[in-house]
């Protein structure tokens, strides 16, 4: 199975990345996590991106806050799918990172999830890998059904809580 590469701009993004890692572990998807910054360590971020396909990665998740150029900088150097997670910072509540991540110029796509959306980033990465992995696709279907069942149970119980 192809690996998921997870890159965060700073170790201060770890709480968001932890949510992604939990999902990947749940589905036994191999992954690597690195701290590479588009601004502080641009060479390392570039090297990772250029070599990602030949190093066995199938999709890259990039999480960054503030002027969040990491996902875009990675996408500029690979044609692997890149999923961007805008991380919340104090000044603008994540709006800065959201716009920096989502507003990519035509030709260099980044699939941007919600602010601090580590869980959905990993689920989307799993869905991309599952395009060519029927077993993983079935596991994702089971998880979707279980999540729906949990919501229906809440519907059943809600009147008794009022």
Quote the CA–CA distance of 69 and 74 in Å, as a whole number.
9
Q: How many other C-beta atoms can be found within 10 angstroms of the C-beta atom of residue 57?
A: 20
The first and second tokens of residue 51, run together, are 């070599």
The first and second tokens of residue 8, run together, are 């965060």
Note whether 66 binds ligand RP5 by CB under 6 A. Answer: yes
The first and second tokens of residue 79, run together, are 């044609």
CB 115 within 8 A of CB 94: yes
Residue range at the interface with ligand RP5 (CB under 6 A); choices 9-17, 78-86, 108-116, 138-146: 9-17
**Nearest distance, CB of residue 34 and ligand RP5, angstroms:** 12
Note whether 96 binds ligand RP5 by CB under 6 A. Answer: no
Q: How many other C-beta atoms can be found within 10 angstroms of the C-beta atom of residue 7?
A: 28
**Nearest distance, CB of residue 111 and ligand RP5, angstroms:** 18
Burial (CB < 10 A; 0-12, 13-18, 19+), residue 25, is: exposed
**Nearest distance, CB of residue 141 and ligand RP5, angstroms:** 33
CA 50 → CA 3, 13, 31, 106, 118, distances in Å? 15, 23, 17, 20, 24
**Nearest distance, CB of residue 89 and ligand RP5, angstroms:** 6
Note whether 41 binds ligand RP5 by CB under 6 A. Answer: no
Residue range at the interface with ligand RP5 (CB under 6 A); choices 10-18, 50-58, 108-116, 129-137: 10-18
Note whether 9 binds ligand RP5 by CB under 6 A. Answer: yes
Binding-site size, ligand RP5 (CB under 6 A)? 10
Per CB under 6 A, residues contacting ligand RP5 are 9-10, 12-13, 37, 64-66, 87, 89
């Amino acid at each position: 199975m192809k690996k998921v590469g997870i890159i965060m701009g700073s170790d201060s993004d770890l709480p968001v990345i932890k949510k992604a890692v939990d999902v990947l572990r749940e589905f036994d998807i191999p992954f690597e996590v690195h701290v590479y910054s588009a601004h502080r360590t641009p060479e390392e971020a570039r090297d990772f991106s250029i070599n990602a396909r030949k190093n066995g990665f199938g999709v890259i998740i990039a999480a960054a806050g503030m002027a969040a150029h990491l996902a875009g900088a990675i996408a500029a150097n690979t044609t692997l799918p890149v999923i961007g997670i805008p991380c919340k910072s104090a000044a603008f509540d994540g709006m800065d990172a959201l716009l920096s991540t989502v507003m990519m110029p035509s030709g260099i796509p980044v699939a941007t999830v919600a602010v601090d959306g580590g869980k959905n980033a990993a689920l989307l990465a799993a869905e991309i890998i599952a395009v060519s992995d029927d077993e993983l696709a079935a596991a994702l279907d089971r998880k979707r059904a279980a999540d729906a069942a949990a919501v229906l149970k809440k519907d059943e119980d809600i009147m008794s809580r009022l």
